[in-house]
Amino acid sequence: MSKLQHNAISRRSFLKASALTAGGALLAACAAPAAAPAGDSGGDAGASMEMIEMRLSAWADVQDAVVYENMVNAYMAQNEGVSVSVEQYPGGYYEKIQANFAADDSADVLYFQGWIWQAYAENQVIYDMSDYIARDGADDFFPGGENYDNQTLWQGGRYMTPTDTGSLVIYYNKDLFDKKGVAHPQPGWKWEEFQQIIQDLSYEEDGTKFYGWGQAQGWNGAYGRSTTFMRRNGHIEWDRITEPTEAYWDNEDIASALQYLVYDAIANDWSPGPEVVEGGGVGVDTGRVAMYLEGPWVMPRLQGELATTEEGINFDVIEAPTGTADTNFTFGHVHGHVITSPSAYKDEGWDLIKFILGEEGQTIIANGGRMCGAPDNIANIWGEIASGVYGFENTDAFANTMRESSISVIFGEGSQIQAYGGGPITVLWDKLLGQTESAAEALAIAQPEIQSHLDQYWADRA
């Protein structure tokens, strides 16, 4: 009788079979991705009879998954024959995008922040949409202005669309102002008034500290959140915003802004230091900080189901204070979509992007908690939705800020410095946050280091 009949397979044979199966499965798993691209990259216009399957990347927050699932469902309902799948890359969004490009497996349409995509344009892995824009008369989707152009144009080509934005405005706790009898800030307020309010609203009560200002730790303790104050009197720390060649950091306006807002504010307990913020429990969302500069994404923590405190924060917003330049230099984030050069569905990708930028798409974005791309849409679509959900009044602040906004700096490939710092700028901030040097001392050291970085950046390009 055979072994099977006896059901007497030996242990050795069983282990051999297991090893064979495991090895075979491993080979099959590795072979499958090699087979797959042949189907994807082989598609062309001639395959239009078949369902077009596009891939769209979405930012890795939970709310973005919801926004873009709603978006593609609405788009597909109007576009039979096109299927769009949304993919997120948590735990390293840009690293995964790079890896996908290296593997020749990038999505068709990618979501980017406005100061990150330039290296990809330099390497021509994302597509210049200028021809599409001209063909379809789509200029209206691009609000214009230096900030929007800085974040969507690169060397004359339009690579990214302004899908959603994030203007940084001052969020203030109305109850803390009222408690101390301090008048709420009004549009057009100045730097000096801002400084006084910070001090007036910093106090201790029953052993608990309350701070007038929150500028420490994380994004709040970074270069990108400080430009509005650094540039308040019109001095810009670069000769130009996009790919500067000269650095002008060692300047009195910059020194005084950073000395006050970072160094002095922490030393005098007008602002919690990074170690306090890291310990948790101290922020505008917990009711212990009167003001900070933040984007619209912080509102769910202030009011609503996701609010940090049960009762929420009674807040409003206002544009950042100005100096003698009378202009708001706040960093206005522009985020948007690019079409990847390897995509076989560029036409369809552009069509999808136009839908996202249109009224229906922008309404889906606003309803999902993201701020619309253009100032007019911010005012007309997003403002009403957001104020209804989060209970604030000054909806104009966001649109106005985007109209006047700027960005800190933009570089191409290989720069340690980017919009939120990096390289010698991060070292400068570490000194201020750790109070190891005054702003003037730290800037005197940082200036030649930053200039050296610029020189190296241009030398690498040469």
List the beta strands (DSSP E) in 16-93. 52-58, 82-88
Spatial CB neighbours of 57, under 8 Å, sequence gap ≥ 6: 86, 87, 88, 89, 97, 107, 109, 110, 111
User: Binding string to other proteins for residues 278 to 317, with x set by CB under 8 A, is what?
Assistant: xx--------------------------------------
Of positions 23, 37, 188, 358, contacts other proteins by CB under 8 A? 23
CB nearer to other proteins: give 108 or 164.
108
> Per-residue b/e over 32-45, b at no fewer than 16 CB within 10 Å?
eeeeeeeebeeeee
Kindly state the smallest distance separating residue 163's Cβ from other proteins, in Å: 22
CB nearer to other proteins: give 53 or 122.
122
Residues 148-177 that bind other proteins (CB under 8 A): none
Residue with tokens 């700028």: 425
Q: Which stretch binds other proteins (CB under 8 A): 246-254, 284-292, 343-351, 424-432?
A: 424-432
Contacts with other proteins: how many residues (CB under 8 A)?
39
Q: Is 448 in the site for other proteins (CB under 8 A)?
A: no
Kindly state the smallest distance separating residue 401's Cβ from other proteins, in Å: 29
Q: Is 410 in the site for other proteins (CB under 8 A)?
A: no
In 180-226, which ranges are continuous DSSP H helix? 191-200
Kindly state the smallest distance separating residue 95's Cβ from other proteins, in Å: 5
**Burial classification of residue 98, based on how many CB atoms lie within 10 Å of its CB (0-12 exposed, 13-18 middle, 19 or more buried):** middle
CB nearer to other proteins: give 360 or 437.
437
Residues 77-96 that bind other proteins (CB under 8 A): 92, 94-95
Residues 102-131 that bind other proteins (CB under 8 A): 102, 119-120, 123-125
Q: DSSP code of 272?
A: -
Q: Is 441 in the site for other proteins (CB under 8 A)?
A: no
> Three-class SS of residue 392?
coil
Q: Is 60 in the site for other proteins (CB under 8 A)?
A: no
Of positions 76, 427, 440, 444, contacts other proteins by CB under 8 A? 427
**Which amino acid, residue 253?**
D
Residue with tokens 């052993």: 207
Q: DSSP code of 263?
A: I
Helices 439-461 and 423-433 pack at an angle, to 10 degrees, of 170
Of positions 47, 99, 134, 183, contacts other proteins by CB under 8 A? 99
CB nearer to other proteins: give 333 or 431.
431
Is residue 56 within 8 A of residue 72, CB to CB? The reply is yes
CB nearer to other proteins: give 90 or 279.
279
Residue 210 is inside which H or E element, if any?
strand 208-210
- Of 397, 380, 386, the residue nearest 186 (C-alpha): 397
Spatial CB neighbours of 199, under 8 Å, sequence gap ≥ 6: 212, 268, 270
Of positions 12, 32, 80, 186, contacts other proteins by CB under 8 A? 12
Residues in contact with other proteins by the rule CB under 8 A:
12, 15-16, 19-20, 22-23, 26-27, 30, 92, 94-95, 98-99, 101-102, 119-120, 123-125, 273-276, 278-279, 413-416, 426-427, 430-431, 433-434, 436
